[in-house]
A and B are shown apart, each in its own frame.
Chain A
Amino acid sequence: MHNAPKPNLEDLPTKSQLRRSALIASIGAVAIGVMVYMPAELGRDPTGVGTLLGLTEMGEIKQQLAAEAAADAATHGQEESSLMNDVFGLFVSTAEAQETWKDEIVFSLEPGASTEIKATMEEGATLFYSWTVEGGRINFDLHAHAGGQNVSYEKGRGDKRGRGSFTTPFAGDHGWFWRNRSKGEVTVTLKLRGEYSAIVRGE
C-alpha cells in the first residue's frame, strides 16, 4: 500500500520521449563536464568557456590551495624548515629616523603570489605593527606555528591597511602569510616595533 496509485501508462512519457531526454542529458553532462567542471575544479579550460564565465580563476585558486596544502602536509612537523630560516635582510632597513618603528619592510607581490614575513620572538613578547597596501588589496593570515603549537591572531582578505599588536603565547616565528588576489601587482609597506630578535621571510 502506498499513498499514491499505480501510474497509468498514458500519463507517463513514452519510451521515445525518454530516449530523447536521456540523450539531451548525456550531451549536457559532457558539456558541463568540459565547459564548467574542468575549469571550476581543475583550472583547465579546453574550450575557453570557463574563462569567459570566470570559473577558471576558481579552479586555479583551488589547485593552488590544494598544492599548498599537500606541500604543507609533506613538511608538517618541521616548521622550522630552511625556507623559513633565511634571515630576511634584503628589504629591511633599521630606520631609527622613523618615529618609533624599529623596522620597515617593503615588498611587492604579483597577482597570485604569496610570501611569509615573520618575527622571531620569545614567549610573552609583544609586537606592534602597521601596514598599508598600494596598487590593490591583500589577503593575510597573521599566525604562528612552532613546536607543535599553533596560534592564529587575525585573518583578512581584500584589505588595504592594518594596525595593531599581538602578544605571543609561545616562542617561535610569528607573523604574516600574505597573498595578492588583486588584478595587478601590489606593494605592501609593513612597519614593526617590539620585542623580536630577527625577521625571517619564506617564499
Chain B
Amino acid sequence: MKTVSDGVRRRFARGAFVVLTLLGLSATMALAHDVTPGDAGYIQEIWGVHVIPFIYLGAKHMITGYDHILFLLGVVFFLYHMKDVAIYVSLFAVGHSVTMLLGVWFGWGINAYIIDAIIGLSVVYKALDNLGAFQRWFGVQPNTKAATLIFGLFHGTGLASKILEYRIDEDGLLPNLLAFNVGVELGQLTALFVILIVMGYWRHNPNFMRQATYANVVMVGLGILLTAQQIAGFVASA
C-alpha cells in the first residue's frame, strides 16, 4: 500500500497543477476495501491484453502530463521548420521510450519525487537554453539535440515509475506496455499539433521575439516550481 499513498502525497504536492489533471486522477484514496478509483483502479481490476485501452491511457498520461508538455513546448519553441520539429520530437520520443520500457520491464524503482524533480529541471534547462543563457554565461551553446535525447531518457524513467505504480498485471504486460508507449507517442503528437497551431499564430505577431523572452522566463519559473514541489514532496516523505 506504500506506493499508493506515496502517489497521493506526490499528487497533492503538485498543488496548483492538479487543475490540469483529469477528473478522478487526483482522488486516489485508500478506503474500506481499498477502492482505488480512476485509471489505476481500472488497471488493477483487469488482466490480459487490452491494446486500445492502454493506448488511450498512454495518450491521456502524456496529454495531462504538464511537465512533459512544458518540455515539449520548450523544445519546439524556436523550431520553425517541420523537419526540425520531426527530428527533435523523434529524439525525445526515442529517449523516453527506451527508459520507459526498460524501466517497467526491469522494475527500476527510482524515487518518483527525484525523477520528477529532474524533469522539472529539464524544463528550466530548456527555457534557459531558449533564452540564450548558456551562450551568455559560458560562451558555448550546448548541443540541443543531445540535451533533448538525454532529458528524454529522464522523462521516460518518470513515466516508468508512474506505470509501476499502476501495477499492471503480469498477464499481458508486454503488449499492454507497448500499447501504452504507442499511446504516449500519439498523445505527444496530438499535443504537438495544438502547440504548433498556437505557435504558428504567435510567430506571425511582430512582437513575437520580445514576448518569447517573457514566455521563456515564465517557463523557467514553472520549471523551478515543479522542481521545488517535488523536492518538498521528497522531504515530506523521507
Q: Could you tell me which A residues sit within 8 Å of B by CB distance? A: 1-4, 6-9, 11-13, 15, 17-18, 21-22, 25, 28, 36, 40-41, 53-55, 57-58, 61-62, 65-66, 68-69, 72-73, 75-76, 79, 116, 137, 139, 141, 143, 145, 150, 152, 155, 157-158, 177, 179, 181
Which of chain B's residues has its CB closest to A155's CB?
A: B34
Q: Looking at chain B, what size class is its interface with the partner chain?
A: 35 or more
B48 adjacent to A143 (CB under 8 Å): no
| A9 / chain B contacts, CB cutoff of 8 Å | 204
Q: Other than A18-B201, A61-B41, A66-B38, give 13 A-B pairs with Cβ distance below 8 A.
A: A1-B132, A2-B78, A4-B78, A4-B130, A6-B209, A7-B208, A41-B22, A55-B52, A62-B24, A62-B38, A68-B37, A69-B35, A158-B47
Contact with A along B46-76 (1 / 0, CB 8 A): 1110101100100010000000000000000
A66 adjacent to B197 (CB under 8 Å): no
Once bound together, how far apart are the Cα atoms of A8 and B78, in whole Å? 12
Which of chain B's residues has its CB closest to A20's CB?
A: B197
Once bound together, how far apart are the Cα atoms of A154 and B10, in whole Å? 25
Which of chain A's residues has its CB closest to B46's CB?
A: A181
Given known A41-B24, A152-B1, contact A177–B33 (CB-CB < 8 A): yes
B29 adjacent to A6 (CB under 8 Å): no
Chain B stretch 123-141: residues in CB contact (< 8 A) with chain A: 129-132, 134-136, 141
Once bound together, how far apart are the Cα atoms of A61 and B35, in whole Å? 12
Which of chain A's residues has its CB closest to B47's CB?
A: A158
Once bound together, how far apart are the Cα atoms of A87 and B48, in whole Å? 36
Once bound together, how far apart are the Cα atoms of A21 and B190, in whole Å? 12
Chain B stretch 71-89: residues in CB contact (< 8 A) with chain A: 77-78, 80-81
